Amino acid sequence: MGEKTRLYMEDWLYNSGLVGFYNVLKHAENDVVIKQNYIEFESDALVGFEKKYFNYFIDKYKDTLSLNKIISFEKFILHHEENNFENFNEKSLEFTNKYISDVAKKQIKSNSYKSAYELIESPVDILGLEKNLKTINLKKKQEIRDILPEIKDIFDLMKQVIKYMKLEESRKYIGAKNAMYSVIKNGWNGVCFLNPQTKEKDMYIDYKCYFIDPTIEYLNTDKSKFKYSCFSCNRKMKDFSNDLSFLNSTGFDVSRKSSHVWDFQNDIAVCPICKLVYSCVPAGISYLYDKGIYINDNSSMRNAIAINNKIHMGIYRQKDEDKKLTYKALVESINEEYNDKIKYELADIQLVRYEDGKYRFNILSKNSLKVIKDSEDDLNKLINCGFKEINTYFNVYELVIDRLLNSQNMFTLIQKMLHYKLSQPRDSYYHTFHITRILRINIRFLKGVGCMKGVYKDIVKEGNDAGEKLREKYRSKGSVDKLSGISYRLLNSLKTNNVDSFMDTLLNCYMYVKSSVPEIFLDTLKDEDKFKTIGYAFVAGLIEGRKENNTDNENGGKDNE
């Protein structure tokens, strides 16, 4: 039995490291005691911690590691071999060529893989196999059966590559390299195995020497003569050698940036135990490619572990097409809480997001949580909606949740979506009825913050219906082409809150079709939020109208006009 050590909850970053430290030990089936605000472990658990550390990442993130992408091709090979290549067609050939060029050859000859080969004891010349891997072209007048011998040769080569990648040592070292550069690097960088100048090639030994050995030595040392205190846990420590510069977007280089501390004398350093905990930050935050999410529920250690593990499982339980959505797992966790009748357990808790190499912070307010719960059906319809801006794709679901978490209304988003629907419909993957769903979510949000009082009827539906009917009248007069220009003018009026300009354009439209203005527009004169809500719903109906076979149940948009 080793000495027991308690690690107490502190700030959000340390807490995420604690959750990660617990996850690593629990994954290795070590005993860890969880109490209200601390965890307790025996020092024996640190023996072989480097293997536990990497095993956690290799197992938990296996779906996103490139090693598994290479191995996953085996199913495709076996399927066609079992069927004697009867179903192998041009699409299968295209898939094979894409796999060879984009996955196999690209990964096998990458620098991170090459450095791992030196650690794997195997007689196989994997780089020689890579050179022989070539894509197969189907020439004119050739059929698939003509090139079957070449395909079989390539499949035999691939089986040798996959056999090599499935070796225990390949999983150990290549898997660790994958985890280092796709997950761990998001939390910390520049030291140990992530230091480009490191002399130790084996990342397991490097991690052990840099993080674990100093911790074990510190635990066994008499600290009575130490005169400094740890910046994080207040334990006594010998010197200030362990700074926080290795943490992304948090620490700084104390030797080069001494002006960051009082009187140019650095007093920010941590003990070896805290440094080890901080190295586990990537195991506490749930990452999806270059995005991460962590809920800092610091009321209870058990709750912090439970909610963050639930989010991690939620992200990797999603279907492949939904895995780009980091917020979806968060929303599911919130909805599960409501279903369990534990309302507001997450209320007023800090949400930390990692995006574009920076941390962003929000507080999960009661209003935002209630709107997210009440809008479950509307949000689910937005999952596949998005638009392209220059060369970047934006998912509407993520944008709406982001605004709810930031306590922002949706009007600028709706303005942009309607504008793109008019100006670049090919890059707008949604219909205007998705915009009416966003308007309904926005009404719930505005009511939650004390606006839109006294609105009992469905002003979104009435405004949208008015737009659709006016479009039909223009169509019957053969003037539907005029609606684009009218829509632009109405959007400009809405953007600048110019009610007079909006009503002028509207009156001209109804005079043109010799019809009276619907009563719903009287409400636009009473309140700015009502004006924008009804106005955008009207423009949405005017732009697209009611499409044939439009059931309002589609998720995402494909047949853009």
| Residue range 240-257, pLDDT digits in tens | 888 888 898 887 777 677
Position 227 scores a pLDDT of 87
CA–CA distance, 521 with 541 (Å, rounded to integer): 14
Position 351 scores a pLDDT of 86
CB 367 within 8 A of CB 448: yes
Structure tokens at 16: 């995420």
Burial class (CB in 10 A: 0-12, 13-18, 19+), 102: exposed
Position 193 scores a pLDDT of 93
Structure tokens at 152: 């079989």
Nearest in space to 61 (alpha carbons), one of 277, 324, 281, 283: 283
Provide the whole-model pTM: 0.81
- Extract the runs of DSSP E, i.e. beta strands, from 187-252: 228-229, 236-237
Position 2 scores a pLDDT of 64
Which amino acid, 82? E
Neighbours of 119 (CB within 10 A): 17
Could you tell me whether strands 33-34 and 38-42 are parallel, antiparallel, or unpaired per DSSP bridges? antiparallel
Burial class (CB in 10 A: 0-12, 13-18, 19+), 549: exposed
Which amino acid, 280? C
Q: HEC profile for 112-146?
A: HHHHHHCCCCCCCCHHHHHHHCCCCCCCCCCCHHH
Position 260 scores a pLDDT of 73
Nearest in space to 223 (alpha carbons), one of 241, 235, 213: 235
Nearest in space to 108 (alpha carbons), one of 195, 174, 193: 174
Backbone angles phi, psi at 450, to 5 degrees: 95, 5
* H or E segment to which residue 386 belongs: strand 386-389
Structure tokens at 505: 């354009």
The strands making up 38-42's β-sheet, listed across from edge to edge, are 4-8, 38-42, 33-34
Helical residues (DSSP H) of 223-365, grouped into ranges: 272-279, 281-284, 301-317, 326-339
Nearest in space to 70 (alpha carbons), one of 103, 95, 42: 103
Those residues of the chain that have pLDDT short of 50 are 341-342, 344, 548-549, 552-553, 555, 557-561
Q: At what angle do helices 366-374 and 396-405 cross, to 10 degrees?
A: 150
Describe the chain by its helix, strand, coil percentages, rounded to 5.
55, 10, 35
Please name the residue that has the structure tokens 């020497």. Answer: 209
Between CA 530 and CA 537, with CA 531 as vertex, the angle to 5 degrees is 85
CA–CA distance, 344 with 395 (Å, rounded to integer): 27
Nearest in space to 439 (alpha carbons), one of 334, 555, 535, 559: 535
Give, in order, the Cα–Cα distances in Å from 426 to each of 31, 116, 492.
56, 44, 22
